[in-house]
Chains A and B, each alone.
Chain A
Amino acid sequence: MVDLEQVFRDRQMVEALLERLMDKLSGPLSFMEVCGTHTMSIFRHGIRTLLPPDIRLVSGPGCPVCVTSQTDIDRMVGLSEIHGVVVATFGDLMRVPGTAGSLSDARARGASVEIVYSPAEALNLAGSKPSSQVVFLSVGFETTAPVVAATVLEAQARGIENFSIYCCNKLMPPALHALFQDEELEISGLLCPGHVSSIIGAKAYEGLCARFSMPCVITGFEPVDILTGLYHLTCQASEGKAFVENVYHRAVPQDGNKRALALMEKVFEPTDAHWRGLGTIDKSGLELREEFSAFDVQRRFEIEVKDSQQPKGCICGKIIRAKALPTDCALFAKACTPTKPVGPCMVSSEGTCSAYYKYGSYEEQ
C-alpha cells in the first residue's frame, strides 16, 4: 500500500522538479502564496532554501486571523466581557492583542471564552448552556463560511436560540483584486490557495488573471505539489503568459464545491469588509441574510468600541500587503515573539511573522 502522504514528499521527485524549474528560469521572479497553510508548508519543508536566489517568495493576505481588523478584535474582546455571554473561538484568535488586551487577557479577568475546533462545537456548547448566550467568532475565508452556514442551518433546525455569530468571514478574490491594484507591487505570479479553491473552484481566478495578466497556479500543500506549482508559474512568467492552471486536480474542481457554495449563498450575502492592512474592500465580506439575522450577535448586543489603536510599531498591515518582510519590523524577534506577540502575524499559526520566527529565516538574512 502506497503511503500517499509520503509520495507527495518524495525527495527525488522534489529534486527533479527543481531541476526542471531551473531549466525554465530566465531571470528574477517574485511569486506570492496567498494561503497561510502554503506559507507554513513552504517554511516547514524548507522549500525557500532549495530555490535559486532568482525566485523570491512573498506571502499575501491569506491568514484569516491576521487580516481581521483591530476594531473587530476590540469588539470581540468587548463582547466577551458582557455578563452572560460565552464567546467560542478558534484558538488562533485568543492571543491577538486588541487595544485593551486580547481574548486571553479577558478570560484571565473572568470573561467566559472557550476554544473550539469547529462552529458545530460552539453550537453544542449553546445547547448545553441554555442560560448563556454563546457567540461564535466567525473568522475565515470561503473554506470556513460554508461550515458556519451549515451550523446556522442546524441551529435553526434545532431551534437553538441562545446561539449567534460575530461574522468576520471574508472573500479572497475581491481582496486579491484590491491588492493587485497597487502598481508598486511586483509580483510575477500567484500560487492560489488550495482549500479555498476546493470551494470556489479554479474558474474563480479567471477574472483576476485576465485583468492583471497574472499567472495563477492552484496547487496543494505537500512539497511535490508546491514545487510543481512553482514550476508552472515559472514557465508562465518566463514565457510571458498568464492563465489559470490547476495542478491540484485531486481536490479542486473547475466549478468548486457547488453544495458548499449553495449553502453559503443561502445563509450569507456579500458586504463591504474592513481588512487589516488593506482597508475597506467592496463586497469582500459576508453577512447573514435577513432571514437568518436572528443569529447575528450585533442584533442582540450593542458592542461599543472607542478608539481602536494599532499596536505601536507593528507593521503587520504592510506585511499582509507584501510591502514589507517580518525582518523589516523593528519589533520582530525582539519585542514581538510567539510568547509575547505584538501583532496578529506573530500569533497565528498561519501568520508570516510566526513562520519566519519558527523556522528561523530571520537568521539567514
Chain B
Amino acid sequence: MKVLEVQGEQDDFLNPPTALVEAQGTTLNARLDIVDRMPEPGDYVIVHAGFAIHTLSSEDAHKSLELFKDLAQHG
C-alpha cells in the first residue's frame, strides 16, 4: 500500500507510530512498530493485520521488474 503520511516514532509503545496508507482507493492507518525501515510518503509498505511489516520503494519494485523482464526475454 502506498504511504501518504507518517506520524510518530518507533519504540514509543504508548503512542505507536502510524502511516496513512492507500491502495485502490481504500485508506487505513497502519502501525509502524515492527516495520523494517520507517517509510516516507511515496514509499510502499506491506501490511499484515494492521501493521506494516516491510517498506519498499518504487525503485525496489522496478529493479525486480527489470530482472524478471530480462529473465522472460533471455532465460
Is A199 among interface residues, defined by CB-CB distance under 8 A?
Answer: yes
Taking CB atoms, residues of chain A closer than 8 Å to B54 are 198, 251, 257
How far does the alpha carbon of A253 sit from the alpha carbon of B37 in the complex, in Å? 12
CB neighbors of B among A116-141 (8 A): 117-121, 140
Is the contact region of chain B dominated by helix, strand, or loop, or is it mixed? Answer: mixed
Taking CB atoms, residues of chain B closer than 8 Å to A79 are none
Taking CB atoms, residues of chain A closer than 8 Å to B72 are 13, 16-17, 20
Contacts across chains A and B counted by CB atoms under 8 Å = 112
What bracket does the count of chain B residues touching chain A fall in?
Answer: 20 to 34
Taking CB atoms, residues of chain B closer than 8 Å to A24 are 75
Is A283 among interface residues, defined by CB-CB distance under 8 A?
Answer: no
CB neighbors of A among B4-61 (8 A): 10, 13-14, 16, 31, 33-36, 44, 46, 48-51, 53-54, 56, 58, 60-61
| CB <8 Å contact, A147 and B36 | no
Given contacts A4-B61, A17-B68, A224-B68, contact A154 B50 (CB under 8 A): no
Taking CB atoms, residues of chain B closer than 8 Å to A16 are 72-73
Given contacts A228-B68, A231-B71, A251-B46, contact A146 B53 (CB under 8 A): yes
CB neighbors of B among A158-182 (8 A): 158
Is the contact region of chain A dominated by helix, strand, or loop, or is it mixed? Answer: helix
| CB <8 Å contact, A117 and B50 | yes
Taking CB atoms, residues of chain B closer than 8 Å to A156 are 13
How far does the alpha carbon of A117 sit from the alpha carbon of B44 in the complex, in Å? 20
Which residue of B has the minimal Cβ distance to A252?
A: B54
Taking CB atoms, residues of chain B closer than 8 Å to A158 are 13-14
Which residue of B has the minimal Cβ distance to A253?
A: B36
Taking CB atoms, residues of chain A closer than 8 Å to B61 are 4, 250
Please list 29 pairs of residues, one from A and one from B, whose beta carbons are closer than 8 Å in the complex, sorted by A's number: A4-B61, A13-B69, A20-B71, A20-B72, A23-B75, A118-B49, A143-B48, A143-B53, A144-B48, A147-B49, A147-B51, A150-B13, A150-B16, A150-B31, A150-B34, A154-B33, A158-B13, A195-B46, A195-B53, A198-B46, A228-B68, A247-B64, A247-B67, A250-B63, A251-B56, A259-B35, A260-B34, A260-B53, A263-B34
If A17-B68, A119-B49 are given as contacts, then 7 extra A-B residue pairs at C-beta distance below 8 Å, sorted by A number, are: A17-B72, A117-B50, A119-B50, A144-B48, A146-B51, A225-B68, A247-B68
**A interface with B by C-beta (< 8 Å):** 2, 4, 7-8, 13, 16-17, 20, 23-24, 90, 117-121, 140, 143-144, 146-147, 149-150, 153-154, 156-158, 195, 198-199, 224-225, 228, 231, 247-251, 253, 257-260, 263
